[in-house]
A and B are shown apart, each in its own frame.
Chain A
């Protein structure tokens, strides 16, 4: 029984990681209608940014977001404006463009770091929490808590703030939103920036958990796609719940089947959900505009 709870705990904490990465991806997905293959690289940049902040300024990883998040917001805005805005309405070209971005970012970091695996230290790294018979690392609990907080905060922001309302209006009907006087391009840029900034935040919080490599983004992007598709396009709650489901699936499959097959199981679940319920578990209307087919 302890074993089982242990797996559930591992799954939940892993789910927290995936949720955190997926929330930003899903915002970009749901609002800007762009499938951003480079989202994992934004997380990777966040991790390296955290490392740089520690090296240069002696920042603890949990303080690094102060610098990293605004920087990635700016990067996201620039990427949207220069690379993706000209490709509006060309979803396949966007796929190629974000793939090119992925290759470039990954290898720029490789060139700069020469592939040395860095890691950061936090005062909190060694702390663990005792929960009944379970020992849980505080850093992982922080990720899960942060994912929860980000999901709630983002949901609240989209619901109540004026820019948030504009973003939701665009997500529902961009033409109508434009007619209402909303500057759609600007809101897209901001949404993309927020999505990128959230990836940066995820990078900061994940930095103490992983040894960094330029390719680490790839570990996040496929599960994050699975999360988004499972949770539903553009749904913040969906991304959160989807992350937890994916984390649990991976942990359970890893334990009960074979660790080597957990990826295969995860993606099979993903493909099945994609086919059976393409709008996702919490999906919102309008998914077909990004390329889903209506049933005949």
Chain B
């Protein structure tokens, strides 16, 4: 059996007695677009933090292209091809929008002008080029989310982890992001997306992973998973969706 592209084995993260992520295993093939859903507090963001190295795992391992990356720091994983956005947007507020993009672009471009060019094209892709000269701190919440996507895009990642990027965006913006994700996915970028909006999930991902209380509840095609009584139970039990 060849090693999977991204292979998560029994990943666990405990905060004191709380098992935020508990023995979660799954594998992602290159070029997939997988949604991770689950009620609030299910452990989705913690799982992301384990994948990108923001948190040290309590147990389990993460393999990327056959290498154990569980001990690597976030910047080392970024170098391997992990890009991400944060649930609570983390922009570089005192720097300009263009410079935020450049920070991502510097991963593969040393020169300022090359990085600026890369950042500019990433900003164009998310529709923020007209804001390039603004300070990131001056942007609206929706713009900040798109800026984070642009920064991640400028890193030319192999795997892109998006943590609720649609939250706070309007209908048009959501559609633009969906189009962008699908376009990039078609060029070979693998996506892991945490998403609350089940309509969005249905619209674009073939595969869905459901977390509940830190554990993997279900996994499969969007249609199957969303029809799964346990999943409905978990959602309806939490909030009426």
Contact = CB atoms under 8 A, between A and B. Distances in A.
Interface in A191-212: none
B55 interface: yes
Interface in B29-86: 53-56, 73
Interface residues of B, number: 5
Contacts of B55: 296
Interface size class of A (residues with CB under 8 A): under 10
Contacts of A295: 56
Contacts of B53: 296
Interface string A280-296: 00000000000000011
Contacts of A296: 53-56, 73
Interface in A261-296: 295-296
Contacts of B56: 295-296
A295 B15 CA distance: 13
B108 to A, nearest CB: 24
A296 B72 CA distance: 11
Nearest to B55: A296
A295 B56 CA distance: 9
Contacts of B73: 296
Nearest to A296: B56
Nearest to A295: B56
A141 B111 CA distance: 66
A112 to B, nearest CB: 41
A296 B75 CA distance: 13
A295 B53 CA distance: 12
A296 B73 CA distance: 9
A295 B54 CA distance: 10
A296 B54 CA distance: 7
A179 B56 CA distance: 33
A296 B56 CA distance: 6
A295 B55 CA distance: 9
B48 to A, nearest CB: 15
A3 B53 CA distance: 55
A295 B73 CA distance: 12
Contacts of B54: 296
Nearest to B74: A296
A79 B56 CA distance: 42
B113 to A, nearest CB: 32
A255 B4 CA distance: 65
Interface string B82-95: 00000000000000
Nearest to B73: A296
A296 B71 CA distance: 10
Nearest to A294: B55
B116 to A, nearest CB: 29
A60 to B, nearest CB: 53
A289 to B, nearest CB: 15
Nearest to B49: A296
B83 to A, nearest CB: 19
A30 B55 CA distance: 26
B109 to A, nearest CB: 27
A176 B26 CA distance: 37
B110 to A, nearest CB: 27
A119 B73 CA distance: 58
B33 to A, nearest CB: 29
A133 B73 CA distance: 60
Interface of A: 295-296
6 contacts: A295-B56, A296-B53, A296-B54, A296-B55, A296-B56, A296-B73
Q: List 5 tightest A-B contacts by C-beta distance, closest first.
A: A296-B56, A296-B73, A296-B55, A296-B54, A296-B53
